[in-house]
Amino acid sequence: MHYSQHRRAAAAFDVLQNAPSQHTASWTELGPFTPVEPAPLTFSGRQAITSGRITALAISHRCVSGDCRLFVGAAGGGVWVTADAMASTPTWTSVNNGIPTTAIGSLLIDPTDSSGQTLYVGTGEGNGSSDSEAGLGLYKSTDAGQTWSLVPGSLAVAHDRSVAGIA
């Protein structure tokens, strides 16, 4: 991670950690719950226990109460964004337009773009699990994730691999 990215991430963390608590909602337990994937859908042909996993996070360097954009990448669920990560019940929106896979390995908000509108997403999951999917390149958005385009040359080096980190 570049030094300036580290400083911005640390500053955003400090803002979140020192912000007065506005969360009045309480947690509601929904489990334990054991999601079972039926045998015909698994690689092994046997029934398996499954769950979702988050593989990437990117938070705006301008994170304040009421305006805190957070992007989340999921192993098989694509890219999601909320405009207010500090809200007690954030609203999430899928932003996958132009990404041909939902296997996400990494996310980066471009630290050189002061508007925070430029993002990169690396496809393919870097975790070595039996249901991890390979990637289809590195993608760029200049409109805060509303549309994505393949970064030229990335498919040649990242096809059938994962982009698990972006520096």
| H helix or E strand, kind and range, residue 33 | none
Give residue-wise pLDDT tens across range 69-119. 999 999 888 999 999 999 888 888 999 999 999 999 999 999 999 999 999
Q: Closest Cα to residue 73, out of 39, 9, 122?
A: 122
List the domain boundaries for the chain: 3-14+50-158
The answer to whether 159 and 135 are in contact (CB under 8 A) is yes
CA 143, 54, 63, 8 dihedral sign is negative
Give residue-wise pLDDT tens across range 105-120. 999 999 999 999 999 9
Distance of CA 150 to the CA centre of its chain: 17
Distance of CA 132 to the CA centre of its chain: 15
96-123 burial string, b = 16+ CB within 10 Å, else e?
beebebbbbbbbbbbbeeeebebbbbbb
The answer to whether 96 and 114 are in contact (CB under 8 A) is no
Give residue-wise pLDDT tens across range 36-50. 667 776 667 777 766
pLDDT at 142: 97
List of residues 6+ apart from 43 with CB closer than 8 A: 130, 131
pTM over 0.95: no
